């Protein structure tokens, strides 16, 4: 993937840095001097001056300190999101004030703790620009830029509210509810893996994420800071969050079963389930945010089918999800486009997705349900397909009983 500016008329990626301490700005300017041939950098000492600069020349990325007099980092990024939603928003803070950080959950794409060395900042910026190459149109970056937090299904939202308000509720109870909802899963994992919570290893399992947060913090996130949302307007006729939840959960369960059958490591098995849950998250973006970009409902529905994989991967990448997960989401329709010489996560999700969508229908060959031609043969798993098909039927039956 190549690093390219969002505006094709510019040759360089434009980065804006904001910090009220002149010494920090000078240090950034000095340590990032080697990037001057690739980046057009501008440094501002206040949120107000940064907004004025952006009005003249919008940026691809803004990196802002959190604590500043007057307009703080959260207020600045909220304004940038409103005025320039396509700009990637990174927040730095050396002061772990929970209420301040929680305000930024839906505003900043990533949160980084200070002191943060230039290499870390550089790597984060480079990664966001590499992710841009996933998008086939600048308008898709605009679409993703409007996303704050993904909406949950009303049923799941009410269940987690009820759970948190019960004095005897356990972390296992909460994790079970959250693990069944695509939006809750993505929102919680984005947060728990941010620098604010300081996890030393990437957490990809919801039960571990909830155990890491604890019930008090989870309750605060849900009740006081609105980390879960519900009741949003759907822009695409016929789209159902509940149906997406059912398909995503089944795909996750199937992907996990295939990963186990392939004798993958425990970490890869966890990732397979997670990617199965999140593979269609781009559809949620189109269904809930398309109206922000003046796309007609018919056009949004068509674009959702064509571009949801790249949009979902771009969003998860901006949120700091591991590259293995981002790549699998991006290429779950065409796993042969990945560099993986094994079946890999993208291939596993592709098979699980197609089996789930077949919905128990009778079919003669894998090609009949849209599995990429030659995929099973190329990876020597054609003889496994009958077992996976049976597992899909069993998973579908168990879900129908549960519902």
Residue-range definition of the domain harbouring residue 248: 241-402
Start-to-end Cα distance in the chain: 42
pLDDT tens-digit map of 53-79: 999 999 999 999 988 999 999 899 999
Give the CATH number, domain containing residue 293: 1.10.3210.10
Is residue 139 situated within a structural domain? no
pLDDT in tens, 272-303: 999 999 999 999 999 888 878 777 778 888 99
- Is residue 70 located within the same domain as residue 181? no
Asked whether residue 35 falls in the same domain as residue 100, the answer is yes
Q: Confirm if 46 and 71 have CB atoms less than 8 A apart.
A: yes
* Residue 138 resides in a domain: no
Alpha carbons 53 and 147: distance in angstroms, whole number = 24
Structurally, how many domains does the chain consist of? Answer: 3
Indicate if 367 and 247 belong to the same structural domain.
Answer: yes
Q: What is the 3-state secondary structure (H, E, C) of the chain?
A: CCCCCCCCCCCCEEEEEECCCHHHHHHHHHHCHHHCCCEEEEEECCHHHHHHHHHHCCCCEEEEECCCCCCCHHHHHHHHHHHCCCCEEEEEECCCCHHHHHHCCCCCCEEEECCCCHHHHHHHHHHHHHHHCCCCCHHHHHHHHCCCCCECCHHHHHHHHHHHHCCCCCHHHHHHHHCCCHHHHHHHHHHHCCCCCCCCCCCCCHHHHHHHHCHHHHHHHHHHCCCCECCCCCCCCCCCHHHHHHHHHHHHHHHHHHHHHCCCCHHHHHHHHHHHHHCCHHHHHHHHHHHHHCCCHHHHHHHHHHHHHHHHHHHHHHCCCCHHHHHHHHCCCCHHHCCCCCCHHHHHHHHHHHHHHHCCCCCCCHHHHCCCCCHHHHCCCHHHHHHHHHHHHHHHHHHHHHC
Query: What's the pLDDT score for residue 359?
Result: 83
Instruction: Clarify whether residues 262 and 391 are in a common domain.
Output: yes
Say what the pTM is. 0.90
pLDDT score for 403: 46
Based on the fold, state whether residues 37 and 118 are members of the same structural domain: yes
263 domain residue, yes or no: yes
Q: Mean pLDDT, the chain, as a whole number?
A: 88
pLDDT tens-digit readout, 26-60: 999 999 999 999 999 999 999 999 999 999 999 99
Domain end marker among 78, 100, 133 = 133
- Give which of 322, 357, 365, 325 is closest to 344, Cα–Cα: 325
Question: How many Cβ atoms from other residues are within 10 Å of residue 140's Cβ?
Answer: 22
Do 273 and 390 share a structural domain?
A: yes
Say if residue 270's pLDDT is above 60: yes
Do 346 and 213 have their domain in common?
no
- Considering only residues 74 and 401, tell me which one the structure prediction assigns the higher pLDDT: 74
Rg (C-alpha) for the chain, rounded Å, is 21
- Quote the pLDDT of residue 228: 75
pLDDT score recorded for residue 401: 43
296 & 253 share domain: yes
């Amino acid at each position: 993937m190549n690093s390219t500016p969002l505006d094709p008329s510019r040759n360089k990626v434009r980065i804006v840095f904001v910090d009220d301490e002149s010494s920090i700005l000078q240090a950034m300017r000095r340590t990032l001097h080697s990037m001057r041939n690739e980046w057009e950098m501008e440094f501002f000492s206040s949120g107000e001056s940064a907004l004025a600069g952006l009005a003249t020349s919008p940026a691809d990325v803004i990196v802002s300190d959190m604590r500043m007099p007057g307009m703080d980092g959260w207020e600045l990024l909220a304004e940038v999101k409103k005025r320039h939603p396509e700009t990637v928003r990174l927040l730095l803070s050396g002061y772990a004030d929970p209420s301040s950080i929680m305000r930024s959950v839906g505003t900043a794409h990533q949160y980084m703790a200070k002191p943060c060395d230039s290499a870390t900042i550089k790597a984060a910026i480079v990664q966001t620009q590499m992710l841009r190459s996933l998008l086939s149109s600048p308008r898709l970056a605009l679409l993703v830029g409007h996303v704050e937090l993904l909406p949950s299904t009303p049923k799941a939202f009410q269940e987690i509210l009820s759970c948190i308000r019960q004095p005897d509720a356990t972390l296992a109870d909460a994790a079970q509810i959250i693990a069944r909802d695509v939006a809750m899963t993505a929102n919680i994992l984005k947060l728990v893996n941010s620098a604010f919570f300081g996890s030393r290893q990437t957490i990809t399992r919801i039960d571990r994420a909830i155990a890491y947060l604890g019930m008090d913090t989870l309750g605060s996130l849900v009740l006081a800071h609105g980390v879960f949302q519900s009741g949003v307007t759907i822009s695409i006729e016929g789209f159902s969050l509940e149906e997406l939840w059912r398909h995503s959960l089944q795909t996750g369960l199937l992907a996990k079963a295939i990963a186990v059958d392939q004798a993958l490591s425990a970490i890869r098995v966890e990732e397979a389930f997670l990617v199965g849950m999140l593979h269609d998250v781009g559809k949620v973006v189109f269904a809930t945010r398309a109206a922000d970009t003046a796309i007609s409902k018919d056009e949004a529905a068509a674009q959702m089918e064509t571009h949801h994989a790249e949009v979902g991967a771009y969003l998860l990448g901006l949120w700091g999800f591991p590259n293995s997960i981002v790549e699998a989401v991006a290429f779950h329709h065409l796993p042969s486009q990945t560099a993986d010489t094994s079946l890999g996560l993208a291939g596993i999700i592709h098979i699980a997705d197609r089996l789930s969508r077949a919905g128990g229908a009778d079919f003669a060959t894998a090609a009949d349900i849209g599995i990429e031609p030659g995929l099973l043969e190329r990876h020597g798993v054609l003889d496994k397909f009958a077992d996976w098909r049976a597992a899909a039927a069993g998973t579908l039956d168990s879900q129908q009983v549960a519902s």
